Amino acid sequence: MAAADVTGNWLAEVAAPNGNVRKTYYDLKQDGAKVTGFLRTSGFDRPLEGTIDDTGTVTLTLETMLGANRPSMKTVGTLKADGLHLTMRMRPDMPPREVVAKKVADGEGLPPARIEPPALHKVRSNGLAKTPPMGWNSWNKFAGRVTAEDVKGMADAMVSSGMKAAGYIYVNIDDTWEAGRDGQDNILANSKFPYMKGLADYVHSKGLKIGIYSSPGPSTCAGYEGSYGREEQDANTYAAWGIDYLKYDWCGAARIYKDTDMQAVYQKMGDALVATGRPILYSLCQYSRQDVWKWGADVGGNAWRITGDIRDGWNSMQKIGFSQNDHDQASFARPGHWNDPDMLEIGNGGMSAEEYRTHLSLWSLLSAPLLAGNDIRTATPETLAILTNAEVIATDQDVLGKQATRMSRTGDQEVWVKALADGSKAYGLFNLGTEAAQMKLPVRGKVRDLWLKKDVSQSEFTVPPHGVALLKVK
Ligand code: GLA
């Protein structure tokens, strides 16, 4: 028989480097030496199982939460007079740290009650994104550190660097701008964004547009305030601020809704955005669950994420990019509605210039949204030359709006083809291997090399390792 009783609702608070406090509840029940319960964060509720011995040492195992290939997480703690001392791992790959969890009221930390999502219907089109959206987003480079000053500086740099002239128009604030809500439940921006309306005015004064981020759940992926139950109110706030773009990220919604509720839940915000009367581009982020490409347009979506998060490395980029032929999603891309293989990493340092050219070539063939994810203020001429190559961008922005498909794959060599509005086709000859390869253009015609920016006469190309020949053929 264990000496102590760990039954209760224990709250562990851990401050992130940016000061945001993440709350983790251990809602535990002890029966003899056996402990059961739930681990609750703003993002999920997961069953726990464990034991307690007569010294008060508790060992808890969390059900594998991130897919079968991730290990279950184990937490060890000791029950003491001042609380439950836990050796916590925020992520399996991070070092453990000791946190003292305090007993709080039963029921604290439970997800809010489910609000029944609306019946399905088609959301009125907002008429936006006739070609894939282009701009910049804060997440890949800044994550939780982004501030209003960064966004202002980025708007300035978009103009001075030539990014705006190349077509990059949206300046998008990703997660971590949110505070809580005021007495009337209006969403508030935190101290990093002291005056959102002023920031929007500033971005607009540069001839650019501004985007923001939220979640249909009570909280976002980074644990900030979401739009749950406040969809219309938040849409109206965005419109009043002058927001032009919303990225709406599932995350915390998983605590309340099933995947089968997704379409209706996304539709709710789609309707709310249209009802504001302001054209607000609607970008769905739910990592392609539920075959989102089949219903993304019906909920008013202008783009929908089709993958998990990209990282600034060849493996991540090529895995995402070259898997875009695995389903039938290409046929669903069309003017106003695009598959989104996630944002660009060009210029963030984890890939070579060759690999970044492959990244932009592939994304352009895929008619993907082109959202730069680097710091434009300090971008090198080489990075800017890649990002602003007009002929490559024209491939992405082609008004026919057809997404490329893979034509052939031989070993490490892949050929992708995209039909263009003027009757010509763009071919990407990709070499995924680590040695240079000779690759043949599978058709004849008048050939233009979009990276060399000149007409060429040969039909065989030496493609560097991890590189591409991007060719337009008439
Ligand atoms: C998810 C999204 C990312 C980013 C973060 C922010 O992981 O997929 O693109 O928005 O959330 O927390």
Segment 258-288, tens digit of pLDDT: 999 999 999 999 999 999 999 999 999 999 9
- Please indicate, yes or no, if residue 438 is contained in any of the structural domains: yes
Is 380 in the same domain as 459? no
pLDDT of residue 13: 92
Segment 68-109, tens digit of pLDDT: 445 567 889 999 999 999 987 666 667 888 899 999 999 999
Average confidence score pLDDT of the chain: 94
Domain final residue pick, 399, 418, 446: 399
Lowest mean pLDDT among 115-119, 168-172, 252-256: 252-256
pLDDT of residue 71: 57
Is 98 in the same domain as 45? yes
Is 267 in the same domain as 150? yes
Residue 178 above 70 pLDDT?
yes
**CATH number of residue 432's parent domain:** 2.60.40.1180
- Label residue 67 by pLDDT band (50, 70, 90): very low
pLDDT of residue 2: 54
- Please indicate, yes or no, if residue 193 is contained in any of the structural domains: yes
Q: How far is the CA of 166 from the centre of ligand 1 (A)?
A: 26
Per DSSP (E only), the strands in 201-347 are 209-214, 245-249, 281-285, 303-305, 338-340
Residue 278 identity: R
Is 382 in the same domain as 411? no
For residue 150 the two structure tokens come to 């960064």
Q: Is the CB of 309 under 6 A from ligand 1?
A: yes
Q: Are 134 and 121 in contact (CB under 8 A)?
A: no
**CATH number of residue 191's parent domain:** 3.20.20.70
Between 18 and 40, residue with greater pLDDT: 40
Segment 192-242, tens digit of pLDDT: 999 999 999 999 999 999 999 999 999 999 889 999 999 999 999 999 999
- Please indicate, yes or no, if residue 127 is contained in any of the structural domains: no
Measured between alpha carbons, how far apart are the two ends of the chain, in Å?
81
Q: Which domain holds residue 323?
A: 134-399
Is 163 in the same domain as 305? yes
Is 377 in the same domain as 238? yes
Question: Which residue among 150, 261, 298, 309 is the active-site one?
Answer: 309
Is 355 in the same domain as 426? no
Q: Characterise 315 by phi-psi region: left (phi > 0), alpha (psi -120 to 50), beta (else).
A: alpha
- Please indicate, yes or no, if residue 120 is contained in any of the structural domains: no
Is 300 in the same domain as 440? no
The protein residue with its alpha carbon nearest to ligand 1, atom 5, reads: 221
- Label residue 21 by pLDDT band (50, 70, 90): confident
Is 431 in the same domain as 414? yes
pLDDT of residue 92: 62
Is 387 in the same domain as 457? no
Residue 1 above 60 pLDDT?
no
Is 163 in the same domain as 269? yes
Share of the chain above pLDDT 70, in %: 96
pLDDT of residue 320: 97
Segment 312-369, tens digit of pLDDT: 999 999 999 999 998 899 999 999 999 999 999 999 999 999 999 999 999 999 999 9
- Please indicate, yes or no, if residue 289 is contained in any of the structural domains: yes
Q: Is the CB of 221 under 6 A from ligand 1?
A: yes
Residue 44 above 50 pLDDT?
yes
Share of the chain above pLDDT 90, in %: 88
Mean pLDDT confidence for 167-185: 97
**Counted domains in the chain:** 3
Per the annotation, the verdict on 449 as an active-site residue is: no
Per the annotation, the verdict on 54 as an active-site residue is: no
Residue 112 identity: P
Is 412 in the same domain as 332? no
Helix (H, G, I), strand (E, B) or coil at 370: strand
Q: Which atom of ligand 1 is nearest to the CA of 143?
A: 6
